[in-house]
Structure 1
Amino acid sequence: MSHQTAPRRPLPLRAEVRRQLRRRRTRLSFGFLVVLPLLLVGAFALGSDDSEGGTSFVDLAQVGPANLAVFAMFASAGFLLVVLVALFAGDAVPSEASWSTLRYLLAAPVPRGRLLRVKLTVALATTLAALVLLPAWSMLVGLVAYGTEAYQGPTGEQLTWAETGLRLAVAVGYLFVSLLFVSSLAVLIGVLTDAPLGAVGGAVLITIVSNILDTISPLGRLREALPTHEQFAWAEALQRDVEWSGMASGALWSVGYSVVLLTAAFVLFQRKDVLS
């Protein structure tokens, strides 16, 4: 029994959680998510409110707390959340290598597969925490700033508070699944480089390229295979009648890409030379 538990002791999950939470980048990331809704409320207060019968998330952001939360998600999904997710996942392995601690972790001994699984698990947990924090905190800020009005959609649909809570949970869940691609890509690049910013920047750059390709209409249905094609499909969960097709397609493509990328990451990490 001692031989079965010994490899686990040098890198317990809670130790990696503490390591992640102590990193300045993680604290700054969550700090910015806390500040963002406050900045949005301030920006709306400084701007002119000349929209009536709004037709977009921007126009309706001041209707109530739920609308502010939805707008914060809409404004963040395309770039900010991508950067944060890439940071949580891409920084894990290269930071150990750049600090020259990776070789000591593996010599502890910690099996390479376990090390990568622990770091991936903590990165995904941190991502989920960030995705929950943004709408939840935005709702609290909106509650103080805009009252208790329930969610109102761009096409005039209104949801009860119970429906809003459930729909936002679906939206957050889909965002988490759709961003698995970014996490997996950052992990893969992270096992190939000793530069944390290289892993983060590489994942963000490839995601941006995917977004650019998605705007090229001559590609036709080929765009459906792009990992970011359905990145805003979570908004369909906020309609009166939920449309599941976009979210189902986006989730399948994201999971498919993630399986391939993570498989490659684990295989390459098993063969990685950590002594050079």
Structure 2
Amino acid sequence: MSQAEVIGTGGADGSDRPGGAGAAAGSDAGPRALWTLGLFRSELFTTLRRWRTLALLAVLAAVPVLIGIAVKIETGDGGSSGGGGGEGPAFITQITNNGLFLVFAALAATLPVFLPMAVGVVAGDAIAGEANAGTLRYLLVAPAGRTRLLLAKYATVLTFTLVATLVVAASALAVGAVLFPLGDVTTISGTTISFGDGLLRAALIAVVVAASLAGLAALGLFVSTLTGSGIAAMATTVGLLITVQILDTIPQLDAIHPYLFPHYWLSFSDLLREPLYWDDVQKNLGLQALYAAVFGSAAWARFTSKDITA
């Protein structure tokens, strides 16, 4: 069998056996579903076991620790930790009264830089890293198919995104509980909700923050299909992230700001209002879905037509 025949078996429709998907769609549906799940599980475990991934998670877990210690030291003499407000790092002003606010402050601090950079590294390395290591061709020889492999890679990146976000939130909650009091939560609207409701809000916010990075994950996966160098793909993804964030801060370009994927990232603060304010959150999630669809389709088109030689 020639190399072209071996690599060509990974078709765009996910069928790898001679005869295509139509010939065995009925009999192979169950085994293929199991194979897809097994492929995703294998990709996820491989990603989470890498030292680079563990190092990224350790850095993310350390950010709430540093914030908590800094606030504790600054307010240890009864001083104030800063000005008021409800968005971004201004959550820090509430930490001394309620350690649960360290979760919101840590997510606000990591979302603009640390979380997206970690996602960009993992997404950029998803396909290009396999090609660079010479393992991509062997993955396609197995009965995976290019479409299913790409979906498994994207699902892995999204799962890592959720894990990374939960690591930040869990670390912040633990540090907040140790260093500061816990109790009823005063919302941005000035009303008070119970600590249990506050925990539910924190969990909801963590999920929204993770979903806010779905567009970046798709962008990184697309970049990863364009090159055989994992380092180049990671650097390009992070570079694009920084460039778009800079564009989002230029007042003269305010007309395009609502279409840039980081524009609504901090809209999660609206979930601390009473009642919940969903407008900007929905705009954010819709924008992420659009980016995921566009760049996911571009990644699929590139990957399923790419000549795999490594």
TM over 0.5: yes
Q: Percent identity?
A: 28
Structure 2 counterpart of 1:89, from 99, 113, 123: 123
Q: Distance in 2 between matches of 1:163 and 1:89?
A: 34
CA deviation map 1:56-114 (0-9, x unaligned): 21222332221111110111010101011112222211111111011111122421111
| Corresponding residue of 1:143 | 177
CA distance in 1, matches of 2:181, 2:154: 39
Deviations along 1:142-196, whole A, 9 cap, x unmatched? 1111122333456654332132122223322221222111100000000111222
Amino acid at match of 2:44: V
Q: Where does residue 262 of structure 2 map in the other structure?
A: 228
Larger Rg: 2
Where has structure 1 moved over 6 Å in runs of 4 or more? none
Pick closer, same or farther for the CA change 1:250–1:72 going to 2, 3 Å: same
Quick one: distance in 1 between partners of 2:187 and 2:159?
30
Task: Give the 5 Å matches for 1:81-230.
Answer: 81-153=115-187, 156-230=190-264
38-47 or 14-23: which moved more? 38-47
Partner of 1:17: 44
Q: Is the 1:175–1:234 Cα contact (8 Å) retained in structure 2?
A: yes
State the match for 1:47 in structure 2. Answer: 74
Unaligned runs of 5+ in 2: 1-23, 85-89
Partner of 2:8: none
2:128 and 2:224 in contact (8 A); partners too = yes
| 1:62 partnered with 2:91 | no
Aligned residues: 276
The one-character-per-residue Cα deviations of 1:6-40 (angstroms, maximum 9, x if unpaired) are: 79759632221221121111111222222222222
Residue in structure 2 matching 1:35, options 35, 42, 62 = 62
The answer to whether the 8 A contact 2:268-2:281 is kept is yes
The 3 A distance-change label for structure 1 pair 31 and 268 is: same
Residues 189 and 58 (structure 1), Cα distance of their counterparts in 2 relative to 1, 3 Å cut: same
- Partner of residue 112, structure 2: 78
Q: How far did residue 138 of structure 1 move?
A: 1.0
The aligned amino acid for 1:158 is: T
What displacement does 1:219 show? 2.8
Q: Return the offset for 1:204.
A: 2.1
Distance 1:75 1:17, change over 3 A: same
Distance 1:8 1:236 in 2: 40
Counterpart AA for 1:124: L
Q: What letter corresponds to residue 245 of structure 2 in structure 1?
A: N
Give, in angstroms, the shift of residue 224 of structure 1: 1.2
The alpha-carbon distance between structure 1 residues 173 and 187, as it changes in their structure 2 partners (threshold 3 A), is: same
User: Which range is displaced more, 130-139 or 43-52?
Assistant: 43-52
Deviations 1:228-272 (A, max 9, x none): 111100111112232211111111111111100000101100011
Q: Could you say if the C-alpha distance between residues 225 and 236 of structure 1 is closer, same or farther in structure 2, counting changes exceeding 3 Å? A: same
Look up the SS of the partner of 1:162 in the other structure: helix
TM-score with structure 1 setting the length: 0.90
| Candidates 230, 244, 252, aligned match of 2:278 | 244
CA deviation profile, 1:104-149 (whole Å, cap 9, x unmatched)? 1112242111111111111111111111221122112211111223
- Aligned residue identity for 1:192: L
Instruction: Give the RMSD, CA atoms, in angstroms.
Output: 2.4
Aligned AA (2:80): S
The amino acid that maps onto 2:153 is K
Give me the TM-score of the superposition, normalised by structure 2. Answer: 0.81
Matched to 1:77, the amino acid is L
Cα separation, partners in 2 of 1:155 and 1:58, compared to 1, 3 Å: farther
What residue identity is the alignment partner of 1:194? G
